[in-house]
């Protein structure tokens, strides 16, 4: 078959490096699938793993975290925003007043206030934050979701990695050098009413399951052209396996059930808020329960070059505040927070200096993000920025460090090596260091 053989920088065809992932998992490409089949022992139980899944609430556009989770009411005029700080459930930790509900769940959160990088441009910064690797022109790094799809044991019948809509940048959120088999399954629809479907996994309109089975019976009568080659041809054989799996998945209603928000109590749906972001986050929680490993729910509009404060007050902050608090409470109530990581972040922060349009511009040198759940401390603030929020003043961390720490908590060595299609050995997060201080 036409699949390239790989030899790497060190000359080895290191098939043994990575063949984790159960056969029958969604998104496996053929060579990996075959390798996984060959290696009967799928995976040597992740004893280190504190978490099994991740929900990334992605604030696209670059949130002004200086007006949110690292509020600076004492900073000089022209830097401090319009918002006062309020006390939270954890003594000594304050948030901007626009996050009253989140203030009540700070006891479940690690707030990282010393995150920073150097790319104030949406596309590459999104790639940096979602991959944990500084983008280069020479190689497309896989998103954390794609890595999770590859490295974590998947649940049969549900996609390992989903995104609600496409992320802003073409490269962000995708599989990069891992290959198309690890791209996310895209969840479509939604809106306030939450009619979600997974592209390729959900039958629509008159094309019912019954119709599918009828057509498939017909297909079976005609799929014999290459059938004689099954045993000798990996490709022909592999495609048949995929066909069987596709049918199983389409027939299995695990994913469909998970996406059926009507199964939730109206009160719960209410808690998440009647917004696409809220209903998406609820669907993400249900998917994680069903065995999805990584779910990204995106909420745009944070690129506030104009009217930062008005936009925060009217839509951005209330929506986010509702969703973050609802998700954390819900996960915790269900005992899922211990095994689920929640990350809330965007691609960069915004300039401490307020521009002439009452907006803030791109600023990567300081930003805050929220981490919670599986393996992270509760009620903890990590690092700080200087008095005007320009740069970290203690415990500086980078996107690589965040990604490394998340994967550490997922039981994956952040420095394990994967191979690019040219066979170049590549550590998951080369520059990343696990942030010990935020580990529970």
Partner 1 sequence: MCARRMLYSLLAGLAATGAGRAAEISLPTGGTLKAVDFERHIMGLLSKVGCNLGSCHGSFQGKGGFRLSLFGYEPALDYANLTRDTGGRRINTQRPDHSLLLLKATGQVAHEGGMRFGKDGWVYNVFREWIRSGAKWHRGRGEIRSLTVTPADFAMLSDSKSLQLTVTATFADGSREDITPFCDFKIADEAVAEVSPLGLITPRQPGDTGLTVLYRGSVKAIRVLVPMPPRADPYPKIPEANFIDTEVFAKLKLMNVIPSELSTDEMFLRRLYIDTIAQLPPPEVIRDFVADKDPKKREKMIDRLLAHPLHAALWATKFSDITGNNTDALENPAPTRAKRSQMWHDWLRKRFADNVPYDHIVRDILTATSLDDKTPEEWIEFVKKVDNQAAQGFTTDYPHKKTLDLFWRRQQQVPIEQWGEKVAAAFLGVRLECAQCHKHPTDRWTQEEYWAFANVFAQVTFAPNQFSSPAVKKLADAENAARREKAPQGNNNQILLVRELFVSDRARPRPNPATNITPLPRTLGGDVITVRPGEDARVKLAAWLTAPSNPFFAKAFVNRVWGHYFGVGIVNPIDDFSLANPPTNERLLNALANDFIQSGYNIRQLERTILLSRTYQLSYVPNETNRFDKNNFSHAAIRPLMAEQVVDVLNAALGVNERFTGPEEAPVGTKMVEVGASRLNSSVAYALRIFGRPPRTTACDCERAMEPALPQTLFRMTDNTVLAKFTDRNGRVAQLAASTLTPEQLAEEIFLATLSRFPTPDEKTEAVKHLKQTANRTAAITDLMWALVNTREFILNH
Segment 226 to 245, residues that bind partner 1, using CB under 8 A: 226, 228-229, 232-233, 235-236, 238-240, 242-243, 245
Instruction: Verify binding: residue 251, partner 1, rule CB under 8 A.
Output: no
Instruction: Verify binding: residue 53, partner 1, rule CB under 8 A.
Output: no
Shortest CB 347 distance to partner 1, Å: 16
Ranges within 111-130 binding partner 1 (CB under 8 A):
123
Shortest CB 90 distance to partner 1, Å: 38
102-103-106 Cα angle (round to 5): 85
Work out which of 89, 313, 378, 424 binds partner 1, going by CB under 8 A: 424
Question: With respect to partner 1, which residue has the nearer C-beta, 107 or 417?
Answer: 417
CB half-sphere exposure, 19, CA atoms < 13 A:
18
Question: With respect to partner 1, which residue has the nearer C-beta, 5 or 265?
Answer: 5
Question: With respect to partner 1, which residue has the nearer C-beta, 139 or 358?
Answer: 139
Work out which of 52, 114, 130, 140 binds partner 1, going by CB under 8 A: 140
Q: Tell me the pairing of strands 340-345 and 185-190.
A: unpaired
Q: Which stretch binds partner 1 (CB under 8 A): 25-33, 126-134, 358-366, 369-377?
A: 25-33
- Beta-carbon neighbour count of residue 377 at 10 Å? 17
Shortest CB 397 distance to partner 1, Å: 20
Bridge partners of 163, per DSSP, are: 186, 296
Q: Is 374 in contact with 335 (CB distance < 8 Å)?
A: no
Instruction: Verify binding: residue 202, partner 1, rule CB under 8 A.
Output: yes
Work out which of 58, 69, 99, 185 binds partner 1, going by CB under 8 A: 185
Q: Which of 382, 364, 384 is nearest to 372 (CA)?
A: 382
Structure tokens at 405: 């720490």
- Beta-carbon neighbour count of residue 204 at 10 Å? 9
User: Residue 390 and residue 401: Cα distance in Å, rounded?
Assistant: 20
357-316-366 Cα angle (round to 5): 70
Binding residue count for partner 1, defined by CB under 8 A: 71
Question: With respect to partner 1, which residue has the nearer C-beta, 319 or 355?
Answer: 355
Question: With respect to partner 1, which residue has the nearer C-beta, 8 or 107?
Answer: 8
**Burial, 10: exposed, middle or buried (Cβ in 10 Å; 0-12, 13-18, 19+)?**
exposed
- Beta-carbon neighbour count of residue 347 at 10 Å? 33
Instruction: Verify binding: residue 2, partner 1, rule CB under 8 A.
Output: yes
Shortest CB 138 distance to partner 1, Å: 6
Q: Which of 78, 73, 56, 213 is nearest to 126 (CA)?
A: 56
Instruction: Verify binding: residue 27, partner 1, rule CB under 8 A.
Output: yes
User: DSSP string of 103-155?
Assistant: HTTGGGEEEEEEE--S--SHHHHHHHHHHSS--BTTBPPPPHHHHHHHHSPPP
Instruction: Verify binding: residue 138, partner 1, rule CB under 8 A.
Output: yes
Work out which of 19, 21, 31, 66 binds partner 1, going by CB under 8 A: 31
Q: Is 408 in contact with 378 (CB distance < 8 Å)?
A: no
Q: Is 196 in contact with 187 (CB distance < 8 Å)?
A: yes
Q: Which helix (H) or strand (E) holds 57?
A: strand 53-59
Shortest CB 6 distance to partner 1, Å: 8
Q: Tell me the pairing of strands 367-373 and 109-115.
A: antiparallel
Q: Which stretch binds partner 1 (CB under 8 A): 3-11, 150-158, 287-295, 346-354?
A: 3-11
Shortest CB 432 distance to partner 1, Å: 14
Instruction: Verify binding: residue 146, partner 1, rule CB under 8 A.
Output: no
Work out which of 41, 45, 210, 221 binds partner 1, going by CB under 8 A: 221
Instruction: Verify binding: residue 255, partner 1, rule CB under 8 A.
Output: no
Ranges within 269-288 binding partner 1 (CB under 8 A):
none
Ranges within 383-412 binding partner 1 (CB under 8 A):
none
Instruction: Verify binding: residue 137, partner 1, rule CB under 8 A.
Output: yes
Ranges within 322-341 binding partner 1 (CB under 8 A):
none
Q: Identify the residue whose tokens are 């009828």.
A: 214
């Amino acid at each position: 078959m036409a699949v390239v053989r790989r030899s790497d920088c060190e000359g080895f065809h290191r098939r043994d490096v990575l063949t984790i992932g159960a056969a029958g998992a969604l998104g496996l490409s053929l060579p990996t699938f075959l390798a996984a089949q060959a290696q009967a022992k799928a995976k040597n139980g992740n004893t280190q793993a504190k978490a099994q899944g991740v929900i990334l609430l992605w604030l696209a556009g670059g949130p002004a975290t200086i007006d949110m989770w690292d509020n600076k009411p004492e900073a000089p005029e022209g830097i401090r925003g319009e918002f006062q700080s309020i006390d939270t459930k954890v003594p000594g930790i304050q948030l901007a007043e626009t996050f009253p509900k989140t203030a009540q769940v700070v006891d479940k959160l690690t707030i990282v206030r010393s995150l920073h990088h150097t790319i104030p441009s949406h596309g590459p910064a999104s790639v940096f934050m979602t991959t944990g690797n500084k983008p280069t022109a020479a190689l497309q790094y896989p998103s954390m979701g794609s890595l999770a799809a590859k490295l974590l044991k998947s649940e049969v019948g549900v996609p390992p990695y989903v995104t609600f809509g496409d992320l802003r940048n073409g490269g962000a959120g995708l599989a990069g050098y891992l290959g198309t088999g690890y791209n996310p399954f895209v969840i479509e629809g939604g809106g306030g009413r939450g009619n979600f479907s997974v592209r390729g996994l959900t039958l629509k309109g008159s094309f019912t399951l019954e119709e599918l089975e009828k057509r498939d019976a017909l297909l079976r009568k005609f799929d014999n052209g290459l059938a004689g080659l099954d045993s000798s041809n990996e490709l022909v054989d592999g495609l048949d396996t995929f066909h069987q799996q596709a049918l199983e998945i389409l027939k299995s209603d695990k994913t469909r059930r998970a996406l059926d928000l009507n199964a939730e109590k109206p009160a719960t749906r209410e808690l998440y808020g009647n917004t696409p972001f809220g209903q998406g986050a609820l669907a993400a929680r249900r998917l994680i329960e069903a065995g999805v490993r990584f779910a990204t729910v995106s909420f745009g509009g944070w690129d506030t070059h104009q009217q930062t404060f008005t936009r925060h007050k009217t839509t951005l902050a209330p929506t986010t505040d509702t969703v973050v608090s609802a998700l954390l409470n819900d996960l915790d109530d269900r005992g899922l927070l211990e095994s689920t990581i929640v990350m809330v972040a965007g691609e960069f922060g915004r300039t401490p200096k307020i521009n002439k349009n009452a907006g803030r511009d791109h600023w990567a040198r300081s930003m805050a993000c929220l981490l919670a759940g599986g393996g992270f401390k509760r009620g903890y603030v990590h690092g700080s920025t200087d008095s005007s929020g320009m740069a970290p003043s203690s415990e500086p961390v980078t996107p690589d460090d965040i990604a490394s720490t998340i994967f550490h908590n997922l039981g994956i060595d952040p420095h394990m090596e994967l191979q690019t299609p040219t066979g170049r050995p590549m550590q998951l997060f080369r520059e990343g260091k696990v942030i010990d201080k935020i580990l529970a």
